[in-house]
Structure 1
Amino acid sequence: MNVPYADLRAQYHSIKPEIDEAVLQLLDSTQFVLGSRVAAFEDLFAPYCHAAHAAGSSSGTSALHLALLALGVGPGDEVITTPHTFIATAAAIGYCGAHPVFVDIDPVSFNIDVSKIEPAITPNTKAIVPVHLYGQPADMDPILEIATRRGLGVVEDAAQAHGAEYRGRRVGSIGDLGCFSFYPGKNLGAYGEGGAVTTNSAELDEAVRVLRDWGAREKHHHEVKGFNYRLEGIQGAVLAVKMAHIERWTEARRVVAARYDESLAGSAVVTPHALPDRRHVYHVYSVRSDDRDALAAHLSADGIASGIHYPTPVHLQPAFAELGHGRGDFPEAEAAAASILSLPMYPEMPVEFQERVAESIHAWSAK
C-alpha cells in the first residue's frame, strides 16, 4: 500500500457531479476568458477572505506582479521579503524592475522574522511582502506597524494560506493587497493555473483589474501598459463550485495535522508549531530532521511519498546570483532548507495512511 503525497483524483470524485455540470455549463456559455463564472467566483472569494474585493488572475505569480504594480512598485525600488519561499515571490518583484531584499526567517514559524525587517529598510524601500508559508500566517501586526510608520505598502503572499487567520482576521484582508494561487495542489485548487488579488481598497482593485486585461477598462482603449493576466472562465467555474467545500476541506487538513502531531510525538522529527493566535490551514505539513535526506529515502523505500518545500533558499538560487548573496547570509532559512521534509497531506487522506507514515518514521527513529 503506497502513500501518495497528495490525491487530486480523490477530491475530484467527491464533487464530480457538481464540477462536471459547472464545466459543461461554462462550455455552453462560451465565456472562456473572464466572464460571469469568474465574476461569480470573485463574489464568493472576496467575502471568504474578509476582503471587499477579489480579482481573478492567470496565476499566483501574476497576482503578485499585479499587486506590486498597483502599489506603484517600479524600477529601482526595493521590496523586503523572505528567502524561504517559492521563487515566484522574488520573481514578481523583479518583473516590476524592483529588487528583492531578503531578511531571515523565524525558525519556529518559518515565516519572516519581523525583528529583522526595519534594519533592512532603505530610502529605496517601497513595500514588504510577508509570505504566509505552509498555511500559517506571518506576524502581521508588527509588519503593519512598521509599514504604516515608514510609509510602505504591504502585499501578503497568501498562495499557501487560503482561509488562514491571524488574530481573527483572514489573510488577504490584512495588508494593502493579498495574493493567492489556485495551482491544482493548493488548498483551493483550479484545474489548471489561476490566482487572485484581494484588497479592501476600491482604487487598488480597479488598478489590478485594468492591469490584468491589457491596461483597458473598455475594449481597444488601453490607458496603461497592461498584461494578459486574465483568469479563464473554466477555472472560475471550477473554483466557484469548490468554494462550497473549502471550509470542510480546511478542517479536514487540520484534523490530519492534529493526528500527525499526536502520532509523531516521541519520534526523531520536530513537528510544526502552530501559533496560538493563528489558524494554520496546513497546505504543507513540514517536519524537521537533522538527517532529512536519510528520512526521505527511508520513507520512499516504504512506499511513502514526501517533498521538500524548499530545498534551496531563493538567495542561493542561480537565477538571483546578481544579488551577490552567499551561504551563511540567512542562516535560519538555510538551516530550514537543509532539514525540512513535507509529509503527505490532503483532506481525503485515510487514517490508515497516516498510521503507516507514523509507523515508518518511528521505525526510522529507532535505528
Structure 2
Amino acid sequence: MRGSEGVRCMLLRGGTSKGAYFLADDLPADAAERDDLLLRVMGSPDPRQIDGLGGAHPLTSKAAVVSVSADPAADVDYLFLQVSVDKAEVSDRQNCGNLLAGVGPFAVERGLVEPGEGRTPVRVRMVNSGDLALATFPTEGGRVVYDGDAEISGVPGTAAPVVIEFPRGSAPLLPTGRARDLVDGTPVTCVDNGMPTVLIAASSLGVTGYEDPGDLEEDLALADRLRGIRLEAGKLMGLGDVENTTVPKLTLLAPPRDGGAVTTRTFIPVRCHTSIGVLGAASVAAGLRVEGGVGHAVARLPERGDRLRIEHPTGFLDIEAGVDHGPGGGAPVARRTAVVRTARKLFDGTVFPRSAGTAPTPAPPQGGPR
C-alpha cells in the first residue's frame, strides 16, 4: 500500500535513535518517488514535523529500508535514509549504526530471516557503504525477545542486548593517508571506521568539550569554524563538496571525566548529538589508537584490551576497537569493532502520509508548549 492508502511500517527504537522501518517492496522503486513519500511520512519540511512520524530532531527522523540480500555474504540488505527535519531532503550518504540495531529484529518480524532458538544471528549488508555487519539478538519460540537487562546511556530502562560486530573494512582507516592534517588552521585527524569522522581537540577551538549540546549549538563563532573545517576536510577525505550532505561528522575531544577513554561532543553535522552514534563511536575509538593523531594525545587509553569507553553528553558507549599498525610504521588498519546496543519495537501497522503535492511551507520554531 502506498500514498493516501497507507504504507506498511514498523517504528523501532534502535540504540539512541528512532526510525521508521520498511520492506523495500512496500516503497516505490524509484528513488525520487520513495524520498518524496518518506518526507510526507515524517512530516518534513517542518521544524516540528507535526504532520508526520518525525520527532523534530535528526535522531528521530530516520528510515531503514530492508530486503533480502543477493550478496551471499549477507542475509539482508539495509539502506539507511536520513530524512531532514526542516528541509525537503533525504540523504543516503551515510550509514546509521543505531538503526542497524533494529534491522535484525525487523527482518525476523517480517519473515525475511528464520529465528533461531535462543539467539539469532543476522548478516547485514549496509547498502550505503557496502560494508557488512553481524547482529545477534535473543529469540524464543519463533519470536524476537525485546525485554532484557542490557542498559545503554541515552535510553531509559533496559532491553535485550543486540551485539553488533563489524569485520575489517576495505576502505582506508585514514582517508587522507595521514594521522594528522591541518584543516582551516586547526589540527585534525580524519578517520573512517564505518563513518567518515573528523576528530578535533576541543581546546583547539576555544571550548572545553564538556559543554551542553544546546550551548555549543548556540555558539555562532564555533558553528562558523566547524563549517569551514567540515567543508575542507570533506574534500581531503575524497567526499567532494559536503555543503549539503551529513558527512563527515565532527567530533570534539576532551580528556575523560568519568573513567572513560575520552569525552566527546559530536556534530551531525550542525546539531550536537545528545549521545554518539555507533559508527561514529567506532571511528572515534579507532582514531584514538592512531599514533600521532589528535585523539592519541587527548585520550587515556587502557594498557591492554580493545575495549574503550567513549563518554558523551548523556553517559557513555562501550566499544571494542582494535587497530593494527603495519610494519615500519605502515598505514593503520582497523582489526575488529564490536558494540552492544538495544532495540525495541514501538509500533507496527500502517502509516498514512499526507497527500502528495501538499508540502508545507516551513515555519520558524514557535515558543510555548512543545
- TM band (smaller chain): under 0.3
TM-score, length of structure 2 as denominator length: 0.24
The structure whose RCO (Cα within 8 Å, separation 6+) is larger is 1
TM-score, length of structure 1 as denominator length: 0.24
Larger helix share, 1 or 2? 1
